[in-house]
Amino acid sequence: MRVFDQGSLGSSVAHGFTSEQMRCEMDRVLLYNRQLKEKSQMLETMQVLKNFDADSIGLDELVALAAAAPTLQKTYEENALPVPDWLKESTRLVKRELKDRKRDFQARELKLLQAKIESKKTEGLSLADLEKRAAELQTALDVDA
């Protein structure tokens, strides 16, 4: 495959390449670069899984790992290759951490909702007390009139 950088594009036209050939070549180069980037990202994901540390990872990264780990396992299995122990263990740890964080999130949300409910109850009691006091005053005013 012939690869061109931006500096050589002008000279390539002078060497007899048509604009269609140049577009095709640029498309191939872009595809190759995209494939390299995807490979690099997958290798990085594998490294993070190999060295999984729940305390040093954010929720978004954890969700991405939870999606990637089973895909890697499935790829090993589909190719009749043994799934590495580190991948099995990392997959288990990622799932557990995601479950724990989900439970923590739900517990925080429940506490907030319970506080709102208590606040509404308090407002409701205050409203009832105010209505009772207003009725008492109304009765007193009616008696005095």
Write a three-state SS string for 39-68: HHHHHHHHHHHHCCCHHHCCHHHHHHHHHH
Report the pLDDT value the prediction gives residue 9, as an integer from 0 to 100. Answer: 52
* Residue 19: pLDDT over 70: yes
Using CA of residue 78, residue 83, residue 89, residue 94, what is the dihedral sign?
negative
Has this prediction a pTM greater than 0.75?
A: no
Report the pLDDT value the prediction gives residue 13, as an integer from 0 to 100. Answer: 52
Report the pLDDT value the prediction gives residue 5, as an integer from 0 to 100. Answer: 52
Position with higher pLDDT, 7 vs 59? 59
Report the pLDDT value the prediction gives residue 59, as an integer from 0 to 100. Answer: 94
Neighbours of 19 (CB within 10 A): 8
User: Per mean pLDDT, which of 36-50, 73-87, 104-118 is the most reliable?
Assistant: 73-87
Report the pLDDT value the prediction gives residue 121, as an integer from 0 to 100. Answer: 74
Dist. CA 52–CA 91, nearest whole Å: 10
Average pLDDT of the segment spanning 76-101: 95
Q: Give residue 101's pLDDT band: very low, low, confident or very high (50, 70, 90).
A: very high
* Residue 67: pLDDT over 70: yes
* Residue 33: pLDDT over 90: no
Long-range Cβ contacts of 14-21 (<8 Å, 24+ apart): none
Report the pLDDT value the prediction gives residue 120, as an integer from 0 to 100. Answer: 73
Report the pLDDT value the prediction gives residue 51, as an integer from 0 to 100. Answer: 92
